[in-house]
Structure 1
Amino acid sequence: MPAHRRRILISMCLALATVVSAVASLNVALPDLARATGATPTQLQWIVDGYALVFAGLLLPAGALGDRLGRRRVLLAGLAVFGGAALVAIFVTDPGQLIAARVAMGLGAALIMPTTLSIITSVFPTDERERAVAAWAGVAGGSGLLGLLVSGVLLEWFDWSSVFATNVVLAVLAATATLINVRDAETHERPALDPVGAALSALGLSALVWGVIEGPQRGWTDGLVLGGFAGGALLLSAFVSWELRREQPMLDPRLFALRGFAAGSLSIFVQFFALFGFMFVVMQYLQFVLGYTPLEAGFALAPVAVVMIGLSQRVPALVHRFGARAVAPTGLATMAAGFALLATAGAEASYWRLLVGLLVLAIGMALATTPATSAIVDALPAEKQGVASAVNDASREVGGALGIAVLGSVLTEGATRADGVTAALLTGAGVLLLGAVAVALRAPSAQRRGAYASRSGSGRSSPTGAQPSGPGA
């Protein structure tokens, strides 16, 4: 890999880590934040969830915006919004203002995440793209866990605002690296904007994620929760209907008829359902059952991130040798084995026993993520890489929100916290196994890049041999 493309990859992974680490890193600081600001439990919930709600809801429009206006430009705008909002959060003490700051950070994150992957897929030639996507996928999975560790270290010496200060520093570093290393020129045709589709997808996904977030608190049969699900379903149905009628749709629903695209999206959804739910459950297990401090819990989970990021670079070679149809389901099944091992740990487990399960989980995640992400982005031509990346990210965020809600609910229903942890982890293992079977049945034996193009004037879909657009982003 030439040095200039390596610098681009590092810049994009830094920007990605900035966003992903902010999803969970604040959880460690919530007790300190509550004491300092007087935030109620509901306000604390929305300081965390306001970010996730806006982030997930705006991913598809943000990806399309990057395709239309230029990915480098949109990425820099997202980093400016994200970093500026985090800077404001350092100096405010009112819970309502913190919620607003986190919402603004979610907007910036939505602009950042899909553009990082679409820049990579547009810049790297075919013989290097798989390794670059693998590095991106490893950081996407591992940097959330590293964020927990960094937050735990900071809180040993500083107060809760240090978490936001770290967000600012990372955003500045990522913006500087992007300005230096990523060129502005783009050669592919830029698709037209779709404001109606953007609004319908944003509102529909937001309503769906809101229902998932509120379900454990209000009850899954609460009228508002059911209303959120119903509203989300209606809006997303309207989005599908609208996109099917457009000559140049933002996201053509027919894409999900492509076996690779559908299997990749399902796999990402299941992986992050399990991983986000695992992070929520295992942090409580380590601290409340085994008595770890937040810092000790962060160090305990660090090997998962290290293995995921390191092993991801080796996965493309396995895919070439055995095929994505074998590697991706094997990864999900291996994750399930890791969950099952951790579920048997009990209330007095040694760390070495936990480590075995954690390493198995990390190996499975590395095996599953890279072929799934590659399947999604390889299905679309260069001018639609922002939307392809956004589908990957939306699958991740919606799956993660549902995983926290479902596994968190199972956790609270246990007779003891240890019993709840066991039940939650076994539930996660079951979902992963079902996902492995579904992906194995749905995944194609092969899929070439650009397998789908937007409808032409004749109203029909056609395959394309679209190649990357060159060094521009």
Structure 2
Amino acid sequence: MTSPAATAPRIPEAVHRRRWAILGVLMLSLLIVVLDNSILNVAIKTISTPAPTGLGATQSELEWAINAYTLVFAGLLFSAGILGDRLGRKKVLLGGLAVFGIGSALAAFSGSPGELIAFRSVMGLGAAFVMPATLAVLMNVFERDEQPKAIGIWAGGVGLAIAIGPITGGVLLDHFWWGSVFLINVPIVLLALALMLWLVPDSRDPNPGRIDPIGVVLSVVGLVLLVYGIIKGGQLADFTDATVLATIAAGLAVLAAFVVFEKRSDHPSIDVTYFRNKVFSAAIGVIALVFFALMGVTFFSVFYTQSVRGYSPLETGLLMLPLAAAQMIFAPRARLVVDRFGNRATTTGAMLLIALTLAAFATFEADTPIWLLEVVFFLMGAAMAHIMTPVSVVIMQALPREKAGSASALSNTFRQVGGALGIAVLGSVMSTAYRNGIEDRLTVLPEGVRHTAGESIEATLGFADRLGPKGDSLVGAAHDAFLHSMHVTALWGAGVAVLGAVVVALFLPGRPTPAQEDEGKRELVSTE
């Protein structure tokens, strides 16, 4: 029988009474961080439209607008968590939200693509301090027996943001200017700040870790150089260019220096010794690969639905609902499939399904029945649910329980980095294929603007519009070139997903034992 001392609550009664209200505030904070990227997905076509409708951003600038946020977020995630432990989670949450809100307001009124990229970096800085602090606060306001339920609700906020983000973005773009997709964050941030000051208690770790500033700088600089080189190669349609090769090589060299430094540091941002565990390395690698493939494909699917098919931003948001709905339907039930078939079989099958759905984009034309796109999105979401659930369990079980926080942070970091590289690499593949397909048809334009007109379908359509009736033939050529580039990019993405399936089949464990299942139940939801 359990003694009274063992069951005594460790949470102050005043905090315990308002724990569910505190969870609501934490979810509100998490919602805007995740919502921002899903809203942006439907806005990138509008932002690429010439002023005054948009900013006239090129494809490479759009890639940077997304990746500036992602790279800063991923690079600072570990250090932000440690700062929260040291300074107090509430203080860090308030500061992160304030920075995110300021960055959002500045981004909304950006006067150029360069300004948008800079202010998106500011938003990424704020988001890096919000994400880890929300979960840390949650763990300090709920007793152990309620933590699984609370974390499950917290994680559900991510699925909710994925579902409502594109629709919210579509509604805003139908009624307001493109900056509204960022400005909408400001009132939500103000509400979250007010509620947080009122409800959320402060907490800190009595034995916090040490900050690793050199590791943070090396990782961010290395990733930025690598991504810049890849995007520049796609922009020029020439990966043998000396500047492109030098930048990519410099990025790889800095990342190699980061790994060496982390191995020798007594307080590393990332403990690289974790990767000696083959199962852990394979699971983390699969997360990076699947987001590499999916983020790249999501990037071009918006141009397919809006630029080629003629759907509005709101209609595009609604078209993406099956993807989010499938994840929300199947994610809670994926464990049943894992229990029956095991981690390896479930994840391998789901990775192959991802590969098939990506390859399906290689068959889409301008007149493909739209219901086929909806089926593909639904299957893609179902596959994602059956990848993230078993892989998350494997990651948490591959390391000792006391390393659970580090394992979760690594999972989130590699997810972000994989997505950033996917947008850079697959975006560059698309840029190169598009330019090669359109450049012979740009002779109707003055020689000085042909390079700019060939950077993306929106750039070409913008110049075609200025030509009036003479530009009609250029519109058809732009659609044909884009569809060709989409087919090529989709096949590249499918190839990456097949590679992920091979990694899973070779290295992930099979059906979990009953003891492993019990061990993973509580930790799983924190990484979904």
Task: Give the C-alpha shift of residue 364 in structure 1.
Answer: 0.3
Deviation track 1:152-200 (CA, whole Å, cap 9, x = no partner) reads 2111111122112212234344445655665433567322222222322
1:332 matched residue in structure 2? 351
The letter for the 2-side match of 1:430 is G
Match of 1:17 in 2: 31
1:73 aligns with one of 91, 111, 114:
91
Cα deviation for residue 221 of structure 1 reads 2.9
- Partner secondary structure for residue 221 of structure 1: coil
- Of 266, 282, 286, the residue aligned with 1:267 is 286
Q: How does 1:184-263 map to 2 (within 5 A)?
A: 184-186=202-204, 189-218=207-236, 219-263=238-282
Q: What CA distance in whole angstroms lies between the structure 1 residues aligned with 2:215 and 2:86?
A: 14
Deviations 1:274-310 (A, max 9, x none): 2211211211221233222222111111221122133
TM-superposed CA distance for 1:441, in Å, is 1.7
Q: Is 1:78–1:107's contact at 8 Å kept on the other side of the alignment? A: yes
- CA change 1:135–1:48 in 2 (3 A) is same
Change (3 A) 1:300 1:156: same
* Counterpart amino acid of residue 432 in structure 1: A
Contact 2:140/2:203 (8 A) holds in 1: no
Q: Are residues 1:394 and 2:413 paired? A: yes
Q: Classify the secondary structure of the residue corresponding to 1:303.
A: helix
Instruction: Kindly indicate whether the alpha-carbon contact (under 8 Å) linking 1:315 and 1:366 is maintained by their aligned counterparts in 2.
Output: yes
323, 341, 345: which one aligns with 2:342: 323
Report the number of matched residues.
453
Give the distance between the partners of 2:251 and 2:502, measured in 1 at CA.
28
User: How much has 1:92 moved relative to structure 2?
Assistant: 5.2
Structure 2 equivalent of residue 35 of structure 1: 52
Q: Residue 461 of structure 1 aligns with which residue?
A: none
Written as runs of structure 1 = structure 2, the 5 A alignment for 1:12-411 is 12-23=26-37, 25=40, 26-31=43-48, 34-35=51-52, 41=58, 46-91=64-109, 93=111, 96-116=114-134, 140=158, 143-144=161-162, 146-175=164-193, 183-186=201-204, 189-218=207-236, 219-377=238-396, 387-411=406-430
Q: Which amino acid aligns with 1:275?
A: L
Distance 1:249-1:405 versus aligned 2 partners, 3 A rule: closer
* Structure 1 unmatched runs, 5+: 451-464, 469-473
Identify the range of structure 1 (91-100 vs 190-199) with the bigger mean alpha-carbon deviation: 91-100
Q: State the shift of 1:83 in Å.
A: 0.8
RMSD: 3.8
Range that drifts further, 270-279 or 12-21: 12-21
Change (3 A) 1:185 1:157: same
**Shift of the alpha carbon at 1:271?**
1.6
Contiguous gaps of at least 5 residues in structure 2: 1-15, 438-479, 524-528
Does the CA-based 8 Å contact 1:83-1:167 persist in structure 2?
yes
Q: TM-score, normalised by structure 1?
A: 0.81
The residue identity in structure 2 corresponding to 1:440 is A
- Letter in structure 1 aligned against 2:77: L
Residues 125 and 325 of structure 1, relative CA distance in 2, 3 Å threshold: farther
- CA shift, 1:115, in A, is 3.8
The structure, 1 or 2, with the larger RCO (C-alpha pairs under 8 Å, 6+ apart) is 1
Between the two proteins, what is the percent identity of the paired residues? 41
Question: For 1:423, which of 468, 485, 488 is the aligned residue?
Answer: 488
Structure 1 residues 322 and 121, CA gap change in structure 2 (3 angstroms): farther
Contact 1:201 1:235 in 2 (8 A): yes
- CA offset digits 1:178-225 (Å, max 9, x no partner): 556654335673222222223222322333333333332144333333
8 Å contact from structure 2 (residues 63, 424) kept in 1: no
Q: For 2:80 and 2:136, how far apart are their aligned partners in 1?
A: 12
In structure 2, the CA distance between the partners of 1:129 and 1:148, relative to structure 1 (3 Å rule), is: same
The alpha-carbon deviation at position 44 of structure 1 amounts to 5.8
What amino acid maps onto 2:282 in structure 1? Answer: A
The CA distance in 2 between the partners of 1:422 and 1:374, in whole Å, is 34
- Find the structure with the greater CA-based Rg: 2
2:449 corresponds in structure 1 to none
Q: Aligned in 2, Cα 1:6/1:420: closer, same or farther, shift over 3 Å?
A: farther
| Deviation of 1:233 (Å) | 2.1
Amino acid at match of 2:98: A
Residues 231 and 427 in structure 2, CA contact (< 8 A), matched pair in contact too = no
The TM-score normalised by the length of structure 2 is 0.73
SS of corresponding position for 1:197: helix
Q: Structure 1 CA distance, aligned partners of 2:323 and 2:226?
A: 30
CA drift of 1:267 comes to 1.7
CA distance in 2, matches of 1:270, 1:58: 21
CA shift in 2, pair 1:333/1:244, >3 Å:
same
CA 1:405–1:99 in 2, change beyond 3 Å: closer, same or farther? closer
1:455 corresponding residue in structure 2 = none
Distance in 2 separating the partners of 1:136 and 1:57:
23
**Residues 201 and 271 from structure 1, CA distance in 2 versus in 1: closer, same or farther, beyond 3 angstroms?**
same
The structure-2 alpha-carbon separation of the partners of 1:420 and 1:33, relative to structure 1 and needing over 3 Å to count, comes to: closer
2: CA distance, partners of 1:318 / 1:192:
41
Aligned AA (1:310): I
Task: State the Cα deviation string for residues 433-456 of structure 1 (Å, max 9, x = none).
Answer: 220120232223559999xxxxxx
Q: What is the aligned partner in structure 1 of residue 443 from structure 2?
A: none
Which sits farther off after the overlay, 65-74 or 201-210? 65-74
Structure 1 range deviating more: 5-14 or 354-363: 5-14
Q: Which residue of 1 aligns with 2:444?
A: none
